[in-house]
Protein backbone atom coordinates (compact mmCIF):
# COMPACT_ATOMS: atom_id res chain seq x y z
CA UNK A 1 0.00 0.00 0.00
CA UNK A 2 1.40 3.40 -1.00
CA UNK A 3 1.82 6.43 1.24
CA UNK A 4 -1.31 8.20 -0.05
CA UNK A 5 -3.43 5.12 0.60
CA UNK A 6 -1.92 4.51 4.05
CA UNK A 7 -2.57 8.09 5.08
CA UNK A 8 -6.16 7.89 3.84
CA UNK A 9 -6.75 4.65 5.75
CA UNK A 10 -5.43 6.21 8.94
CA UNK A 11 -7.46 9.40 8.52
CA UNK A 12 -10.71 7.56 7.86
CA UNK A 13 -10.44 4.60 10.20
CA UNK A 14 -8.72 5.87 13.33
CA UNK A 15 -11.11 5.75 16.30
CA UNK A 16 -11.48 8.22 19.13
CA UNK A 17 -10.80 5.52 21.71
CA UNK A 18 -7.39 4.93 20.09
CA UNK A 19 -6.27 8.43 21.04
CA UNK A 20 -4.49 8.62 24.42
CA UNK A 21 -5.74 11.19 26.93
CA UNK A 22 -2.35 12.95 26.90
CA UNK A 23 -2.71 13.63 23.17
CA UNK A 24 -6.21 15.04 23.71
CA UNK A 25 -4.94 17.37 26.42
CA UNK A 26 -2.13 18.58 24.17
CA UNK A 27 -4.65 19.21 21.39
CA UNK A 28 -6.83 21.29 23.72
CA UNK A 29 -3.79 23.36 24.75
CA UNK A 30 -2.95 23.93 21.10
CA UNK A 31 -6.52 24.87 20.20
CA UNK A 32 -6.73 27.31 23.12
CA UNK A 33 -3.50 28.97 22.02
CA UNK A 34 -4.40 29.04 18.32
CA UNK A 35 -7.88 30.46 18.82
CA UNK A 36 -6.36 33.15 21.03
CA UNK A 37 -3.86 34.29 18.42
CA UNK A 38 -6.56 33.96 15.74
CA UNK A 39 -8.72 36.41 17.68
CA UNK A 40 -5.86 38.87 18.13
CA UNK A 41 -4.78 38.43 14.52
CA UNK A 42 -8.27 39.09 13.19
CA UNK A 43 -7.71 42.85 13.42
CA UNK A 44 -4.35 42.81 11.61
CA UNK A 45 -4.14 44.17 8.04
CA UNK A 46 -3.63 40.78 6.30
CA UNK A 47 -6.68 39.34 8.05
CA UNK A 48 -8.80 42.42 7.36
CA UNK A 49 -7.98 42.36 3.65
CA UNK A 50 -8.79 38.66 3.32
CA UNK A 51 -12.01 39.11 5.32
CA UNK A 52 -13.12 41.94 3.08
CA UNK A 53 -12.62 39.76 0.04
CA UNK A 54 -14.44 36.87 1.71
CA UNK A 55 -17.40 39.12 2.47
CA UNK A 56 -17.48 40.39 -1.11
CA UNK A 57 -16.84 37.11 -2.92
CA UNK A 58 -17.71 34.37 -0.44
CA UNK A 59 -20.54 31.88 -0.57
CA UNK A 60 -23.43 31.01 1.72
CA UNK A 61 -22.88 32.35 5.28
CA UNK A 62 -22.45 28.96 6.94
CA UNK A 63 -19.10 29.29 8.71
CA UNK A 64 -17.72 31.79 11.21
CA UNK A 65 -14.94 34.26 10.60
CA UNK A 66 -13.44 34.24 14.09
CA UNK A 67 -13.23 37.58 15.88
CA UNK A 68 -16.01 39.11 13.77
CA UNK A 69 -19.75 38.80 13.20
CA UNK A 70 -19.14 37.70 9.61
CA UNK A 71 -20.08 34.29 8.25
CA UNK A 72 -19.16 32.99 4.82
CA UNK A 73 -18.57 29.83 2.80
CA UNK A 74 -16.38 27.12 4.30
CA UNK A 75 -13.34 27.60 2.05
CA UNK A 76 -13.42 31.37 2.53
CA UNK A 77 -13.78 31.00 6.31
CA UNK A 78 -10.78 28.65 6.36
CA UNK A 79 -8.75 31.18 4.37
CA UNK A 80 -9.73 34.07 6.64
CA UNK A 81 -9.21 32.20 9.91
CA UNK A 82 -5.94 30.58 8.84
CA UNK A 83 -4.57 33.96 7.79
CA UNK A 84 -5.67 35.57 11.07
CA UNK A 85 -4.11 32.75 13.11
CA UNK A 86 -0.70 33.42 11.53
CA UNK A 87 -0.99 37.21 11.08
CA UNK A 88 0.99 38.00 14.25
CA UNK A 89 3.42 35.06 13.91
CA UNK A 90 2.34 34.25 17.45
CA UNK A 91 1.01 30.74 16.68
CA UNK A 92 2.70 27.51 17.70
CA UNK A 93 5.54 25.71 15.94
CA UNK A 94 6.76 22.16 15.48
CA UNK A 95 10.37 21.33 14.72
CA UNK A 96 9.66 18.04 12.94
CA UNK A 97 7.95 20.02 10.17
CA UNK A 98 9.89 23.28 10.74
CA UNK A 99 6.64 25.17 10.55
CA UNK A 100 3.39 26.14 12.22
CA UNK A 101 1.17 23.07 12.61
CA UNK A 102 -2.01 24.38 14.20
CA UNK A 103 -3.06 27.43 12.18
CA UNK A 104 -3.88 25.66 8.88
CA UNK A 105 -5.21 22.47 10.43
CA UNK A 106 -7.48 24.10 13.01
CA UNK A 107 -8.82 26.69 10.55
CA UNK A 108 -9.71 23.91 8.09
CA UNK A 109 -11.21 21.64 10.75
CA UNK A 110 -13.31 24.44 12.22
CA UNK A 111 -14.80 25.46 8.88
CA UNK A 112 -15.44 21.91 7.70
CA UNK A 113 -16.82 21.07 11.14
CA UNK A 114 -19.36 23.86 11.07
CA UNK A 115 -20.37 22.81 7.57
CA UNK A 116 -20.90 19.25 8.82
CA UNK A 117 -22.68 20.34 12.04
CA UNK A 118 -19.98 18.48 13.98
CA UNK A 119 -19.30 18.47 17.72
CA UNK A 120 -16.24 19.37 19.77
CA UNK A 121 -14.93 15.83 20.02
CA UNK A 122 -14.90 15.58 16.23
CA UNK A 123 -12.91 18.82 16.06
CA UNK A 124 -10.32 17.52 18.51
CA UNK A 125 -9.98 14.24 16.61
CA UNK A 126 -9.72 15.92 13.21
CA UNK A 127 -7.11 18.33 14.54
CA UNK A 128 -5.01 15.45 15.87
CA UNK A 129 -5.25 13.56 12.57
CA UNK A 130 -4.23 16.62 10.57
CA UNK A 131 -1.34 17.30 12.93
CA UNK A 132 -0.19 13.70 12.56
CA UNK A 133 -0.23 13.87 8.76
CA UNK A 134 1.71 17.11 8.40
CA UNK A 135 4.34 16.24 11.01
CA UNK A 136 4.83 12.72 9.61
CA UNK A 137 5.48 14.29 6.22
CA UNK A 138 7.78 16.75 7.97
CA UNK A 139 9.82 13.93 9.47
CA UNK A 140 10.14 12.46 5.98
CA UNK A 141 11.05 15.69 4.14
CA UNK A 142 12.68 18.14 6.55
CA UNK A 143 15.30 19.65 6.64
CA UNK A 144 15.89 19.35 2.87
CA UNK A 145 12.37 20.60 2.06
CA UNK A 146 12.80 23.68 4.25
CA UNK A 147 16.36 24.41 3.16
CA UNK A 148 15.23 24.43 -0.47
CA UNK A 149 13.05 27.46 0.31
CA UNK A 150 9.63 25.95 0.94
CA UNK A 151 7.56 27.30 3.83
CA UNK A 152 6.31 24.12 5.44
CA UNK A 153 3.28 25.82 7.02
CA UNK A 154 1.93 26.30 3.50
CA UNK A 155 3.13 23.06 1.93
CA UNK A 156 2.85 20.40 4.63
CA UNK A 157 0.03 22.35 6.23
CA UNK A 158 -2.07 21.89 3.09
CA UNK A 159 -1.93 18.11 3.50
CA UNK A 160 -2.67 18.35 7.23
CA UNK A 161 -5.62 20.63 6.54
CA UNK A 162 -6.96 18.25 3.88
CA UNK A 163 -6.72 15.37 6.34
CA UNK A 164 -8.63 17.30 9.01
CA UNK A 165 -11.31 18.50 6.59
CA UNK A 166 -11.75 15.04 5.05
CA UNK A 167 -12.30 13.55 8.48
CA UNK A 168 -14.76 16.28 9.44
CA UNK A 169 -16.78 15.70 6.28
CA UNK A 170 -16.80 11.94 6.83
CA UNK A 171 -15.05 10.99 3.59
CA UNK A 172 -14.27 7.33 3.01
CA UNK A 173 -10.72 6.17 2.30
CA UNK A 174 -11.09 6.47 -1.48
CA UNK A 175 -12.34 10.04 -1.39
CA UNK A 176 -9.81 10.97 1.27
CA UNK A 177 -7.08 9.82 -1.13
CA UNK A 178 -8.52 12.19 -3.69
CA UNK A 179 -8.61 15.04 -1.17
CA UNK A 180 -4.93 14.45 -0.39
CA UNK A 181 -4.12 14.31 -4.11
CA UNK A 182 -5.85 17.61 -4.77
CA UNK A 183 -4.19 19.25 -1.78
CA UNK A 184 -0.77 18.00 -2.91
CA UNK A 185 -1.21 19.81 -6.23
CA UNK A 186 -2.10 23.09 -4.49
CA UNK A 187 0.52 22.99 -1.72
CA UNK A 188 2.78 26.05 -1.84
CA UNK A 189 4.57 28.74 0.13
CA UNK A 190 7.99 30.38 -0.28
CA UNK A 191 10.32 31.49 2.51
CA UNK A 192 11.28 34.45 0.34
CA UNK A 193 7.96 35.95 1.44
CA UNK A 194 8.87 35.95 5.15
CA UNK A 195 8.30 39.36 6.67
CA UNK A 196 5.37 40.20 4.38
CA UNK A 197 1.61 39.62 4.33
CA UNK A 198 2.22 36.61 2.10
CA UNK A 199 3.53 34.59 5.06
CA UNK A 200 0.24 34.54 7.01
CA UNK A 201 -1.52 34.02 3.69
CA UNK A 202 0.41 30.73 3.41
CA UNK A 203 -1.42 29.42 6.50
CA UNK A 204 -4.77 30.67 5.23
CA UNK A 205 -4.18 29.25 1.77
CA UNK A 206 -3.25 25.87 3.28
CA UNK A 207 -6.47 25.83 5.31
CA UNK A 208 -8.54 26.81 2.27
CA UNK A 209 -6.74 24.18 0.18
CA UNK A 210 -7.66 21.51 2.71
CA UNK A 211 -11.34 22.42 2.81
CA UNK A 212 -11.67 22.92 -0.94
CA UNK A 213 -9.90 19.64 -1.67
CA UNK A 214 -12.14 17.71 0.71
CA UNK A 215 -15.30 19.30 -0.70
CA UNK A 216 -14.27 18.53 -4.29
CA UNK A 217 -13.36 14.96 -3.38
CA UNK A 218 -16.67 14.53 -1.58
CA UNK A 219 -18.46 15.39 -4.82
CA UNK A 220 -16.43 12.99 -6.96
CA UNK A 221 -13.47 15.07 -8.15
CA UNK A 222 -10.45 12.86 -8.75
CA UNK A 223 -6.67 12.98 -8.63
CA UNK A 224 -3.77 10.53 -8.69
CA UNK A 225 -3.88 7.52 -6.38
CA UNK A 226 -0.19 8.11 -5.68
CA UNK A 227 -0.05 11.90 -5.66
CA UNK A 228 2.21 11.91 -2.60
CA UNK A 229 4.66 9.08 -3.33
CA UNK A 230 4.55 8.85 -7.14
CA UNK A 231 7.63 9.45 -9.32
CA UNK A 232 6.44 13.00 -9.98
CA UNK A 233 4.50 13.35 -6.74
CA UNK A 234 4.65 15.58 -3.68
CA UNK A 235 7.60 13.87 -1.98
CA UNK A 236 9.86 13.78 -5.04
CA UNK A 237 9.04 17.27 -6.32
CA UNK A 238 9.04 19.17 -3.03
CA UNK A 239 11.38 16.91 -1.10
CA UNK A 240 15.04 16.06 -1.34
CA UNK A 241 16.73 13.49 0.79
CA UNK A 242 13.76 11.55 2.17
CA UNK A 243 13.24 9.54 5.35
CA UNK A 244 10.54 7.16 4.13
CA UNK A 245 10.56 5.21 7.39
CA UNK A 246 8.68 8.15 8.96
CA UNK A 247 5.70 7.31 6.74
CA UNK A 248 5.38 3.69 7.79
CA UNK A 249 3.32 4.25 10.95
CA UNK A 250 0.90 6.88 12.18
CA UNK A 251 -0.38 7.44 15.68
CA UNK A 252 2.11 5.03 17.24
CA UNK A 253 3.10 7.14 19.09
CA UNK A 254 1.10 10.24 18.28
CA UNK A 255 3.47 12.91 17.01
CA UNK A 256 1.80 15.62 19.07
CA UNK A 257 3.41 13.79 21.99
CA UNK A 258 6.67 12.59 20.42
CA UNK A 259 7.62 15.75 18.51
CA UNK A 260 5.50 18.13 20.55
CA UNK A 261 4.37 21.69 20.13
CA UNK A 262 6.33 24.84 20.92
CA UNK A 263 4.00 27.60 22.15
CA UNK A 264 5.29 31.10 21.47
CA UNK A 265 5.72 33.56 24.34
CA UNK A 266 6.64 36.30 21.82
CA UNK A 267 4.95 37.28 18.52
CA UNK A 268 8.05 36.87 16.34
CA UNK A 269 9.87 34.13 14.48
CA UNK A 270 10.68 31.21 16.78
CA UNK A 271 14.38 31.53 15.86
CA UNK A 272 14.51 34.80 17.84
CA UNK A 273 13.02 33.42 21.03
CA UNK A 274 15.99 31.93 22.89
CA UNK A 275 17.92 35.16 22.33
CA UNK A 276 14.99 37.23 23.59
CA UNK A 277 14.74 34.97 26.66
CA UNK A 278 18.47 35.36 27.27
CA UNK A 279 18.55 39.14 26.93
CA UNK A 280 15.49 39.69 29.10
CA UNK A 281 16.98 37.45 31.79
CA UNK A 282 20.42 39.10 31.67
CA UNK A 283 18.83 42.56 31.68
CA UNK A 284 16.73 41.74 34.73
CA UNK A 285 19.33 39.76 36.70
CA UNK A 286 22.18 42.24 36.24
CA UNK A 287 20.23 45.51 36.02
CA UNK A 288 21.51 46.20 32.52
CA UNK A 289 20.62 49.56 30.98
CA UNK A 290 20.45 49.87 27.21
CA UNK A 291 22.97 52.74 27.12
CA UNK A 292 25.59 50.53 28.84
CA UNK A 293 25.60 47.95 26.06
CA UNK A 294 28.58 48.04 23.71
CA UNK A 295 28.21 44.68 21.93
CA UNK A 296 25.60 41.94 21.61
CA UNK A 297 26.82 38.64 20.16
CA UNK A 298 24.11 36.07 19.39
CA UNK A 299 25.51 32.81 18.04
CA UNK A 300 22.94 30.94 15.96
CA UNK A 301 22.52 27.65 14.09
CA UNK A 302 23.43 27.50 10.38
CA UNK A 303 19.77 27.44 9.31
CA UNK A 304 18.95 30.77 10.96
CA UNK A 305 20.40 33.30 8.46
CA UNK A 306 18.08 31.91 5.79
CA UNK A 307 15.09 32.56 8.06
CA UNK A 308 15.88 35.86 9.78
CA UNK A 309 16.33 37.67 6.50
CA UNK A 310 15.67 41.29 7.57
CA UNK A 311 18.69 42.69 9.46
CA UNK A 312 17.43 46.27 8.89
CA UNK A 313 13.64 45.95 8.98
CA UNK A 314 11.42 48.72 7.68
CA UNK A 315 8.09 47.38 8.97
CA UNK A 316 6.68 45.43 11.87
CA UNK A 317 6.28 42.33 9.71
CA UNK A 318 9.92 42.46 8.66
CA UNK A 319 10.97 43.07 12.28
CA UNK A 320 9.53 39.69 13.28
CA UNK A 321 12.26 38.17 11.10
CA UNK A 322 15.10 40.33 12.39
CA UNK A 323 17.32 39.09 15.21
CA UNK A 324 18.84 42.56 15.34
CA UNK A 325 15.50 44.23 16.00
CA UNK A 326 14.17 41.62 18.42
CA UNK A 327 17.37 41.72 20.48
CA UNK A 328 17.49 45.52 20.56
CA UNK A 329 13.81 45.82 21.48
CA UNK A 330 14.21 43.33 24.33
CA UNK A 331 17.17 45.28 25.74
CA UNK A 332 15.56 48.68 25.26
CA UNK A 333 12.10 47.88 26.65
CA UNK A 334 12.57 44.86 28.92
CA UNK A 335 9.64 43.11 27.22
CA UNK A 336 8.52 41.89 23.80
CA UNK A 337 4.79 41.94 23.00
CA UNK A 338 2.35 42.50 20.18
CA UNK A 339 2.89 46.27 20.26
CA UNK A 340 6.66 45.78 19.89
CA UNK A 341 6.05 45.12 16.21
CA UNK A 342 3.97 48.16 15.37
CA UNK A 343 5.45 49.91 12.33
CA UNK A 344 6.21 53.12 14.23
CA UNK A 345 8.09 51.21 16.96
CA UNK A 346 10.46 49.78 14.35
CA UNK A 347 11.68 53.32 13.65
CA UNK A 348 12.45 54.11 17.33
CA UNK A 349 15.93 55.78 17.29
CA UNK A 350 16.91 54.14 20.59
CA UNK A 351 16.19 50.67 19.22
CA UNK A 352 17.84 51.43 15.86
CA UNK A 353 21.02 52.49 17.67
CA UNK A 354 21.11 49.24 19.64
CA UNK A 355 20.56 47.21 16.47
CA UNK A 356 23.94 48.41 15.19
CA UNK A 357 25.59 46.63 18.14
CA UNK A 358 24.03 43.21 17.45
CA UNK A 359 26.07 40.51 15.68
CA UNK A 360 24.79 37.04 14.74
CA UNK A 361 27.70 34.70 13.91
CA UNK A 362 26.89 31.13 12.95
CA UNK A 363 27.98 28.34 15.28
CA UNK A 364 27.93 24.99 13.40
CA UNK A 365 27.80 23.10 16.71
CA UNK A 366 24.24 24.34 17.20
CA UNK A 367 22.95 22.50 14.10
CA UNK A 368 22.43 19.12 15.80
CA UNK A 369 18.85 17.96 16.11
CA UNK A 370 16.02 19.82 14.39
CA UNK A 371 14.58 20.89 17.73
CA UNK A 372 17.85 22.73 18.47
CA UNK A 373 17.83 24.92 15.37
CA UNK A 374 16.26 27.66 17.50
CA UNK A 375 18.96 27.55 20.20
CA UNK A 376 21.27 30.50 20.75
CA UNK A 377 24.36 31.41 22.74
CA UNK A 378 24.36 35.05 23.90
CA UNK A 379 27.26 37.24 25.05
CA UNK A 380 26.51 40.77 26.25
CA UNK A 381 29.39 43.23 26.67
CA UNK A 382 28.98 46.41 28.72
CA UNK A 383 30.81 49.73 28.91
CA UNK A 384 32.19 48.96 32.41
CA UNK A 385 34.01 45.89 31.05
CA UNK A 386 31.54 43.27 32.21
CA UNK A 387 30.80 40.34 29.91
CA UNK A 388 27.53 38.49 30.55
CA UNK A 389 26.79 35.13 28.94
CA UNK A 390 23.80 32.83 28.51
CA UNK A 391 23.39 29.41 26.96
CA UNK A 392 23.50 27.75 24.63
CA UNK A 393 19.90 26.86 25.24
CA UNK A 394 16.40 26.77 23.87
CA UNK A 395 13.46 29.05 24.53
CA UNK A 396 10.60 28.77 26.98
CA UNK A 397 7.47 27.35 25.42
CA UNK A 398 9.44 24.56 23.74
CA UNK A 399 8.26 21.00 24.58
CA UNK A 400 11.24 20.70 26.95
CA UNK A 401 10.23 23.96 28.70
CA UNK A 402 6.45 24.16 28.22
CA UNK A 403 4.40 27.11 29.35
CA UNK A 404 2.37 26.35 32.44
CA UNK A 405 -1.41 26.21 32.22
CA UNK A 406 -1.59 29.62 33.88
CA UNK A 407 0.91 31.11 31.40
CA UNK A 408 -0.98 29.64 28.47
CA UNK A 409 -4.30 30.92 29.81
CA UNK A 410 -2.80 34.37 30.39
CA UNK A 411 -1.59 34.48 26.79
CA UNK A 412 -5.05 33.44 25.54
CA UNK A 413 -6.72 36.15 27.63
CA UNK A 414 -4.30 38.83 26.46
CA UNK A 415 -4.94 37.88 22.84
CA UNK A 416 -8.68 37.30 23.07
CA UNK A 417 -9.43 40.59 24.82
CA UNK A 418 -8.21 42.41 21.72
CA UNK A 419 -11.67 41.76 20.26
CA UNK A 420 -13.81 40.11 22.95
CA UNK A 421 -15.28 41.49 26.20
CA UNK A 422 -13.87 40.01 29.40
CA UNK A 423 -16.87 37.77 30.17
CA UNK A 424 -16.74 36.28 26.67
CA UNK A 425 -13.00 35.64 27.01
CA UNK A 426 -13.50 33.48 30.09
CA UNK A 427 -16.51 31.71 28.58
CA UNK A 428 -14.51 30.84 25.46
CA UNK A 429 -11.62 29.51 27.54
CA UNK A 430 -14.04 27.36 29.52
CA UNK A 431 -15.66 26.01 26.36
CA UNK A 432 -12.29 25.00 24.95
CA UNK A 433 -11.31 23.30 28.21
CA UNK A 434 -14.45 21.15 27.89
CA UNK A 435 -14.31 20.86 24.10
CA UNK A 436 -14.90 17.11 23.94
CA UNK A 437 -18.29 17.73 25.55
CA UNK A 438 -19.36 20.54 23.18
CA UNK A 439 -22.47 19.27 21.32
CA UNK A 440 -22.23 21.70 18.37
CA UNK A 441 -19.29 23.76 17.12
CA UNK A 442 -21.61 26.70 16.51
CA UNK A 443 -21.82 27.08 20.28
CA UNK A 444 -18.05 27.60 20.31
CA UNK A 445 -17.90 29.92 17.31
CA UNK A 446 -20.72 32.04 18.76
CA UNK A 447 -18.42 32.82 21.71
CA UNK A 448 -15.65 33.84 19.31
CA UNK A 449 -17.72 36.34 17.34
CB 376 within 8 A of CB 298: yes
Mean of pLDDT values over 271-280 = 96
Residue 300, strand partner residues: 362, 376
Same domain, 228 and 370: no
For residue 370, name the pLDDT band (cuts at 50, 70, 90). low
Which segments of 14-119 does DSSP mark as H helices, in order?
A: 21-41, 45-57, 74-86, 102-115
CA-based nearest residue to 441, from 104, 85, 74, 160: 74
Binning the chain into helix, strand and coil, the percentages to the nearest 5 are 60, 10, 35
Compute CA 371 distance to the chain's CA centroid, rounded to the nearest angstrom: 15
Inform me whether the pLDDT recorded for 367 exceeds 80.
no
Classify residue 402: in a domain, yes or no. no
What CATH number does the domain containing 426 carry? Answer: 1.10.4100.10
Residue 240: the pLDDT is 84
Classify residue 339: in a domain, yes or no. yes
First to last CA, the chain: 44
Rounded-to-integer distance, Cα 168 and Cα 30, Å: 18
Task: Print the domain residue range for 131.
Answer: 3-264+410-447
Classify residue 399: in a domain, yes or no. no
**CA atoms within 13 A of residue 217's CA, in its CB half-sphere:** 32
Classify residue 174: in a domain, yes or no. yes
Same domain, 210 and 312: no
Residue 59: the pLDDT is 86
Same domain, 443 and 385: no
At CA 358, angle to CA 354 and CA 361, rounded to 5?
175
Rounded-to-integer distance, Cα 23 and Cα 160, Å: 17
- pTM equals 0.95
Mean of pLDDT values over 302-328 = 95
pLDDT tens by residue, 125-167 = 999 999 999 999 999 999 999 999 999 999 999 999 999 999 9
For residue 50, name the pLDDT band (cuts at 50, 70, 90). very high
317: Cβ contacts below 8 Å, ≥ 6 apart = 195, 196, 197, 199, 341
Residue 130: the pLDDT is 98
- How many independent structural domains does the chain possess? 2
Same domain, 58 and 110: yes
Residue 56: the pLDDT is 92
Same domain, 326 and 437: no
For residue 371, name the pLDDT band (cuts at 50, 70, 90). low
Residue 149: the pLDDT is 95
For residue 249, name the pLDDT band (cuts at 50, 70, 90). very high
Same domain, 252 and 144: yes
CA max distance for the chain = 72
Q: What is the mean pLDDT of the chain?
A: 96
Residue 250: the pLDDT is 97
CA-based nearest residue to 103, from 166, 44, 45, 30: 30
Same domain, 199 and 76: yes
Classify residue 404: in a domain, yes or no. no
Same domain, 274 and 260: no
Inform me whether the pLDDT recorded for 372 exceeds 90.
no
For residue 366, name the pLDDT band (cuts at 50, 70, 90). confident
Classify residue 387: in a domain, yes or no. yes
Amino acid sequence: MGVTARLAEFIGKNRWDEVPPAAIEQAKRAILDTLGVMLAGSVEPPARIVRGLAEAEGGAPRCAVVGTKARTGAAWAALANGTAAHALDFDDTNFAMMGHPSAPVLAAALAAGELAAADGRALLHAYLLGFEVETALGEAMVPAHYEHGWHATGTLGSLGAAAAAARMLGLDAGRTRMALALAASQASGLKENFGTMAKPFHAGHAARTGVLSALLARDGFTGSEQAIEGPQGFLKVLGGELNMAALETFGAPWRILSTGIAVKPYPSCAMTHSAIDALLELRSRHGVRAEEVTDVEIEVAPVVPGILIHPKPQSGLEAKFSMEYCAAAALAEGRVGIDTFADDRVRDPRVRALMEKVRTPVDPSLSGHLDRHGWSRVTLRLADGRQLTWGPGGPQGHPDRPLSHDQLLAKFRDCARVVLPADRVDAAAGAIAALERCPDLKKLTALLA
